[in-house]
Every structure is written in C-alpha cells, then in structure tokens.
Amino acid sequence: MAESGSTRPTRTVAGPSSTADPTPRAERPPAAPPPFLLDFYPLEDAKFTRLSPFFDALKEGRFTTTRCERDGLHWPPRAVCPTCHTEELVWVDLPTRGTIYAFSAVLAGAPIGMESDVPFAVGLVDLEGTSLRIFSRIVGRAWTELRVGQPVTVETYRIPDGRAFFRVRADAS
C-alpha cells in the first residue's frame, strides 16, 4: 500500500556535454605503459605467444595476419585455423587502405592510459580487397568529422618503450 504524500527522489544523470571539444588530443601513446597485468603488449614476445610475428611486422611498419591455405584469411591473426584446426598457417601482408564501416566516439570511460585522450574515435574498418573488417582507434580527424564510407589508412606506430601497435588514420574528405 502506497503512503500518501510520499515522493520518490529523482536523480539526474549527466551525459556527455554536446559542447565538448571534439578536437582530437595529441596523437601520442601514453607516456608510461599501462600496468603490466592489464597490458597485452608483453605478449609480443615469442616466449609468450605464437603470434609474435604480427608484432614483429608492426615494428617493421607492416600490417599482417595469418592465412589458412584451405580456409583463407583470419582476423585477428591466429595460431590455429578456427575452421579446420590446422596449425600450418602462413603470415601475409594486409592492405593498408580501407573505409569506415561504423564508428563511435569515446567521450568518457576511456581505458587505462587513454583517459587524457578523450574524446577520441574507434570504429570498424573494411580493408580494401579483402573480406576482413577490423576494429581500431581512428585518428587524424575529430570524431564529429568522420563519416561512414570515409577512406582510411592503417598505420603502425611505436610506443616509447619499443613496442608497436596499429591504428587507422582518417583521410581528408
């Protein structure tokens, strides 16, 4: 039975401000690497994974993945084909051109080490000439200037401690 005259407190939850500056912050990796237990980069080392050739290629400025001779390309790179379960995969270079399939802005709640980069964009990118769709951070333009179908280029970059990773750069449109 409801009490007469009782009111429920209401709470307003503030969302991202529509006046937030959409300009991307400096496109640099964090000054210090994230805590070791939260960081997947130590897995670049061959003693931790059979996927180390992917990271070795990134350090050389190449974007690669694995291919099964029977079942085709994989993304992300694999140690075993998820279809036929063979371990006999070959490393192949991927195209570095693509288009934005979908994107979103990170306006709050960024991962550790990326808090000062907010706002930034992430998205799905279709790689030219393949059936692959990759997920990546998108740099080079404010998230408000991005559009579906916009051309992008995959680029590799070095982290100050010597590790490497990739991102996509939105081309001028």
Residue 122 is inside which H or E element, if any?
strand 120-127
Q: Is residue 95 part of a domain?
A: yes
Q: Is residue 137 part of a domain?
A: yes
Distance CA 139, CA 146 (A): 10
Residues 26/28/31/32 CA torsion (nearest 10 deg): 140
Chain segment 133-169, per-residue pLDDT in tens = 999 999 999 999 999 999 999 999 998 878 899 999 9
Does pLDDT of 50 surpass 50? yes
Distance CA 171, CA 64 (A): 21
Does pLDDT of 37 surpass 70? no
- Structurally, the chain folds into a number of domains equal to 1
Q: How far is CA 121 from the centre of its chain?
A: 9
Distance CA 128, CA 99 (A): 7
Q: Is residue 23 part of a domain?
A: no
Q: Is residue 158 part of a domain?
A: yes
Given pLDDT bands bounded at 50, 70 and 90, which one contains residue 44? confident
Does pLDDT of 90 surpass 70? yes
Q: Is residue 1 part of a domain?
A: no
Distance CA 81, CA 112 (A): 32
pLDDT of residue 87: 97
More confident residue, 10 or 85: 85
Mean predicted lDDT score pLDDT of the chain = 83
Distance CA 98, CA 88 (A): 28
Tell me which residue range forms the domain holding 69: 36-170
Q: What is the pTM of this model?
A: 0.75
**Residues 27 and 61: beta-carbon distance below 8 Å:** no
Given pLDDT bands bounded at 50, 70 and 90, which one contains residue 15? very low
Q: Is residue 7 part of a domain?
A: no
**Residues 90 and 73: beta-carbon distance below 8 Å:** no
- What's phi and psi for 158, nearest 5 deg? -95, 140
pLDDT of residue 52: 93
Q: Is residue 125 part of a domain?
A: yes
Q: Is residue 151 part of a domain?
A: yes
